[in-house]
Chains A and B, each alone.
Chain A
Amino acid sequence: MKILVPVKRVVDPEKANQVVISEDRSRIDSQGLGWKPNPFDEYAVEAALRLLEDRGTNEMRGEVLVVSLGPDEAIQQIRWCLAMGAHQGILVKAEDEALDASVVARTLASLVRKESPDLVLMGKQTVDGESNQTAQILAEILGWPQATFAGRISAPADLSRATVTREVDGGTIDITVRFPAVISVDVRIVTPEGVDNHVSSRDKPYEEGPRYASLRGIMRAKKIPVRTYEMEDLGVDTERLVNTLSFAAPPGRKAGVILETVEELVQKLKEEARVI
């Protein structure tokens, strides 16, 4: 079993409110804020590892291949995922500005054809671009089933398919997709019950959240060669379908007041704001 996990590097999500828009409004400057793997993608790496591993014996029933599209520096986020336990890494050299969801999906499709994974597991959206399209477009290009917004994945021991609990408006939907398939994950996938592979013992429950890299993992990751490609090597049509023309800061909220008493609050809500 081979699982391909695309991982994008993003500005540290906790510092998203510190990005600066250039004076000519053409760029977003995030200098000094630091880079992280997109959290949803990191959850996908965690989910892929949980699907494959036997917690009792520490045996892996397959490989996790991490792919990133980005500048040379994005190799750091690939190494992060390798240190978590992923097995292989590929960097496709690209500048963020040259990409849209369609170009990314086409690039991933080309890699899928080359690498023949049984499953693509990815974040449901990035926390910078927030488009929430790539997994779905990729599934359409490949002619594969999709299961988006997965809060829970349950797979039989033979890993031929997965039953996915999708978090949707009004509740949750359970569907079963036969592999090969594309699954996009939501935040709940990294709760202790997020993934059940019917192999790992339930006596040893998972911690909340994605795993930290162990020292051994970090040492191991250093020895794994990361392959790099240019877009042209992959024969990808790089024409964008959506162009970003400019950036602007959204209107901010006026600073409010701290009130001393609840009585005062209720009075203001009734008489000043008139909302109750």
Chain B
Amino acid sequence: MDNILIVAQILDGRVKKGTHSAVTFASRVAKASGGTYTILALGSDLSGQTDALSRLGAEKVLVAEAADLDQALAERWAPIIEDVVKEGRYRIIVSPSSTTAKDVLPRLSHRLKAGMASDVIGVTFQESGVRLLRPLYAGNVNATVEIVTDIKVITVRQTEFAPFEPLESQSAIEKIDVPPPPELLKRIEFNSFDKSVSERPDLTEARVVVSGGRGLKSSENFRIIEELADLLGGAVGATRAAVDSGFMHNDFQVGQTGKIVAPDLYVAVGLSGAIQHVAGMKSSKVIVAINRDEDAPIFQVADYGIVADLFKAVPLMIEEIKKRGD
């Protein structure tokens, strides 16, 4: 029996969809092993999120609140989660592959003498325990791995686990005591969080993503990408090259080193399809590529391709969608 602890992902006052994907993973493992799952949330004031968290079918929802927990410093969070794991004898700790989880969970894993598997995309069950599937080589190889320690730490890729549908029934909510900050925190100062502002849907949660690359040539030109995205109710993405060139904020980068997305529709505009970019979007249901260069590798993963100048094709596409929308 494996009791599971889910560390919730909360950003900007909202329970992120990734949390729902981690719940889907946990509910499958709990079902196979006869265990239960508990959700842990950390923050300064979680009163606005507990209702949403309580509807995810958990045994209970644990709430750790302290003024400095919004900073999500790994050195602060890891000992708190460690205490919860030891107290509740949890065997599996899981969180979506957010930057917070990537920052905190490896530190936690060492404290628990636990092995860790990152970015898990699949799970199977054997007598000996869970087998985990995870991508290597920019998504070109999948490895089946086994964590051999009693306690296992896992991050899951939200694109590969459908979000858990909230229930009517509610789990019990329990506030936990938060220990004071460790000595180590004296060597770290939190200065600021500079939020990237966007009115559009979240890149990792949007049904449609329109991404631009170096072919856009300037941040002003990204407006046509934004116009198409807005028309389709989608999010805007960018390649590393476009971010490095200052066309877009780093938070919008799609790829091996940025966001991993899998929308219903991904429109790739003026981007060549570097291995590292494809790693971040190849699980999309339908991929459209618009590029002037017919040899661009993006056409090898696209369902529909248009070989044309993007500055002509994208406005035409906007016009055509508007026309047909009437």
Closest chain B residue to A186, Cβ basis: B257
In the complex, A136 Cα to B188 Cα: how many Å? 15
What's the count of A-B pairs with C-beta under 8 Å? 264
Asked whether, in the complex, the Cβ of A265 is within 8 Å of the Cβ of B256, the reply is: no
Interface stretch, picked from B44-52, B142-150, B167-175, B213-221, is B142-150
Asked whether, in the complex, the Cβ of A145 is within 8 Å of the Cβ of B187, the reply is: yes
Q: Which of A19-78 contact B (CB under 8 A)?
A: 19, 21, 28, 40
Residues of A within 8 A of B189 (CB): 175-176
Asked whether, in the complex, the Cβ of B119 is within 8 Å of the Cβ of A130, the reply is: yes
Number of interface residues, chain A, beta carbon within 8 A: 85
Interface stretch, picked from A163-171, A198-206, A210-218, is A163-171
Residues of B within 8 A of A266 (CB): 317, 320-321, 324
Q: Which of A86-102 contact B (CB under 8 A)?
A: 100-102
Asked whether, in the complex, the Cβ of B275 is within 8 Å of the Cβ of A13, the reply is: yes
A105-135 interface code vs B (CB 8 A; 1 in, 0 out): 1000000000000000000110111111111
Determine if B69 is an interface residue (Cβ-Cβ < 8 Å): no
Q: Shortest CB–CB separation between residue A237 and chain B, in angstroms? A: 11
Residues of A within 8 A of B100 (CB): 168-169
Determine if A80 is an interface residue (Cβ-Cβ < 8 Å): no
Asked whether, in the complex, the Cβ of B184 is within 8 Å of the Cβ of A244, the reply is: no
In the complex, A260 Cα to B36 Cα: how many Å? 54
Residues of B within 8 A of A244 (CB): 143-145
Determine if B286 is an interface residue (Cβ-Cβ < 8 Å): yes
Q: Shortest CB–CB separation between residue A190 and chain B, in angstroms? A: 9
In the complex, A256 Cα to B296 Cα: how many Å? 14
Asked whether, in the complex, the Cβ of B191 is within 8 Å of the Cβ of A163, the reply is: yes
Q: Shortest CB–CB separation between residue B237 and chain A, in angstroms? A: 14
Partner of A168, one of B99, B106, B208, B232: B99
Residues of B within 8 A of A229 (CB): none
Asked whether, in the complex, the Cβ of B196 is within 8 Å of the Cβ of A259, the reply is: no
In the complex, A275 Cα to B267 Cα: how many Å? 11
Residues of B within 8 A of A243 (CB): 145-146, 148
Q: Which label, helix, strand, loop or mixed, suits the secondary structure of the B interface?
A: mixed
A148-179 interface code vs B (CB 8 A; 1 in, 0 out): 11010000000000010011111111111110
Partner of B317, one of A168, A248, A262, A273: A262
Residues of B within 8 A of A125 (CB): 257
Q: Shortest CB–CB separation between residue B280 and chain A, in angstroms? A: 12
B286-326 interface code vs A (CB 8 A; 1 in, 0 out): 11100000100001111111111000010011001100100
B123-151 interface code vs A (CB 8 A; 1 in, 0 out): 00000000100011111111111111100
Interface residues of A (CB under 8 A from B): 11, 13-14, 16-17, 19, 21, 28, 40, 100-102, 105, 124-125, 127-137, 139-141, 143-146, 148-149, 151, 163, 166-178, 181, 186-188, 191, 208, 240-250, 253-259, 262-263, 265-270, 273, 275-276
8 shortest interchain CB distances as A-B pairs: A241-B115, A136-B106, A133-B106, A174-B191, A256-B303, A275-B265, A168-B99, A178-B187
Interface residues of B (CB under 8 A from A): 11-12, 71, 73-75, 78, 98-100, 102-107, 109-111, 114-119, 131, 135-149, 184, 187-196, 208, 232, 240, 243-244, 249-251, 256-257, 264-265, 275-276, 282, 285-288, 294, 299-308, 313, 316-317, 320-321, 324
Extra contacts besides A256-B299, A258-B307 (10): CB < 8 Å = A17-B275, A19-B140, A136-B102, A169-B251, A170-B196, A173-B71, A175-B73, A247-B143, A259-B305, A269-B288
